[in-house]
Amino acid sequence: MHQQTEMDKSSIRKRKESQDGSTGCTLDCQPKVNEPVRATALQREVGLLSGICLIVGTMIGSGIFISPKSVLLYSGAVGPCLLIWAACGVLSTLGALCYAELGTMITKSGGEYTYLNEAFGSLVAYLYTWTTVMVLKPSSFAIITLSFAEYASTPFYAGCTPPLVITKCLSAAAIILISLINCVSVKLASYVQNFFTAAKLFIILVMVVAGMVMLAQGKTETLSDAFDGTSTSVGAIGLAFYNGLWAYDGWNQLNYITEELKDPYKNLPLAILIGIPLVSVCYVMVNISYFTVMTTSELLVSPAVAVTFGERVLFSMSWIVPLFVVFSTFGSANGSCFTAGRLAYVAGREGHIVKILSYISLRRYTPAPALMFNGLLAIFYIIPSDINSLINYFSFAQWAFYCLTALSLIVMRFTRKELHRPVKVPIVIPALMVVVSCYLVLAPIIDKPELEYLYCTIFIFSGLLLYYPFVHRKVKWGRKLMRPITMHLQLLMEVVPPEKVE
């Protein structure tokens, strides 16, 4: 332990010496006079625009372009389908307002992990980390890159489906490239996010304008009698909300990087209030556009709704739709990687997972080990043939943690009254989120109970097998085992523990 500590101190000292020119400096490496020495910690480099782009770019992935039919399938008709899309937007906004209060009250990165740790203690926060870091984040990253790979490879296999091995190899290449971008620079990752967010908003604008033109021409057949055939099943409506909310997933992403956000007290709530309503309007308008050119039957059988729309409306320019879906999925994957690395970084810093994941690149000021770990797990998850079912079965866990996070806001209103709250939402909003989250957790399980939900629950609580010896008891042999591994990885990746910044 002493050896590792000395190495950490030596690394920090060498960095500072090299920056102020006190060691090994020749005429070619004179220090910049006005350049301050930065602490080895995550820097506040994300502004309001980048914050909005992170929210919008992560939320808008492939779902709205490929399979909005799931919401239509379970809702049963056009009218309730559009209402559910709008309701999902309202629900996401209410949830994000709760997170705005939490994020400005506790200005630490890590999202739900940080808030659960403050409200309910180490055990609940650990179970969230175990589930999210090991399954939810990397499998989501894998699914998004698989969608990217499928659309990117399709033009080279006209008339047939691309070979699975090609899709998976291209997905792995995308994971490696995105992880590398995020390891190299926070600013570079932000620029990539901003560019691809602008691209996906452009194609959505094109589709909405085209749809409005068709609507003005009288293409309203599908939108008439919009409520005929509405589903009355509680479970089916719950599944419709599940699929809609899956497309909205990402509304909480900015809370994972609070420590890197410039002026979080202002920019966090502002980015939320701009970004999520923008996405909500886009989703509803795009769905209306779909219904102007397709009947419900045609939409349900279309393998990729946006491509079918482009072929019927854009004609010779229809190729831009799959191209921009590729852009959209790449941008969404970049945002997912960016925030997933921060969760692993914060959990490692708090001692809930291995310490090496909390280390910072000495040169790049990025959580490189955490980003690499998330990328490796994502590559592992693209190997199985069907990971969509994994996400479906673990969605109940995600909403269970959303429920606990909303509950943590209510709990801390009474247990942490001393905390400053620049944003304070009416308590009825987190209470509503708790109720809705409970419904989304229980309705599909009650409507169609399956053993897979039990397996997911067993996996979540299996984390206790690691929690008790390594986190609660902190067994000495565990530290002794990890010490040389951490030291060698630290030398290999040139990373050091984060310095405390007041």
Residue 41 DSSP code: S
- Report angle CA 65, 375, 150 to the nearest 5 degrees: 30
């806001």: which residue's tokens? 409
Give the closest residue to 198 by CA, choosing from 340, 44, 60, 45.
60
Residue 19: inside a domain: no
pLDDT the model gives residue 151:
85
Q: For every residue of 4-48, which 3-state class applies, written as one string?
A: HHHHHHHHHHHHHHHHHCCCCCCHHHCCCCCCCCCCCCCCCCECH
Please indicate, yes or no, if residue 319 is contained in any of the structural domains.
Answer: yes
| 193 and 50 Cβ atoms separated by less than 8 Å | yes
C-alpha 492: how far from its chain's center? 28
11 found inside a domain = no
Q: How many domains does the chain have?
A: 1
DSSP single-letter state for residue 438 = H
> At which residue do the structure tokens 């090991």 appear?
134
111 vs 249: CA distance, rounded Å: 14
Which of 440, 374, 359, 356 shows the shortest CA–CA distance to 403?
A: 440
Q: Are 422 and 104 in contact (CB under 8 A)?
A: yes
For residue 455, the model assigns a pLDDT of 86
β-partners of residue 495 are 361
Contacts of 317 (CB under 8 A, 6+ apart): 310
CATH number, position 387: 1.20.1740.10
**Dihedrals phi, psi of 46, to nearest 5 degrees:** -100, 115
Residue 174 bridge partners (DSSP): none
Integer CA distances (angstroms), 162 to 66, 140, 319, 337, in order: 17, 21, 17, 25
For 276, the enclosing helix (H) or strand (E) is helix 264-293
**What confidence score (pLDDT) does residue 31 get?**
45
How do beta strands 360-361 and 495-496 pair?
Answer: antiparallel
> Exposed (0-12), middle (13-18) or buried (19+): which is 477, by Cβ within 10 Å?
exposed
Asked if residue 432 is part of any domain, the answer here is yes
Whole-angstrom distance, CA of residue 263 vs CA of residue 266 = 6
As a whole number of angstroms, the distance between CA 105 and CA 414 comes to 14
In a domain, 502, yes or no: no
Assess if residue 312 is contained within a domain.
yes
Which residue, among 339, 265, 270, has the nearest Cα to 58 in the 3D structure? 339
Residues of the chain falling short of pLDDT 50: 1-3, 5-7, 9, 11-33
Q: Are 201 and 189 in contact (CB under 8 A)?
A: no
pLDDT at 18: 40
Q: In whole angstroms, give the CA distance from residue 130 to residue 377.
A: 13
3-state DSSP of 47-112 = CHHHHHHHHHHHHCCCHHHHCCHHHHHHHCCHHHHHHHHHHHHHHHHHHHHHHHHHHHHCCCCCCH
Question: Domain of 250?
Answer: 49-496
**Is the dihedral angle over the CA atoms 135, 136, 142, 146 positive or is it negative?**
positive
3-state secondary structure of 261: strand
- What are the DSSP E strand ranges found in 284-428? 360-361
Q: Quick check: is 5 in a domain?
A: no
**Residue 117 maps to a domain:** yes
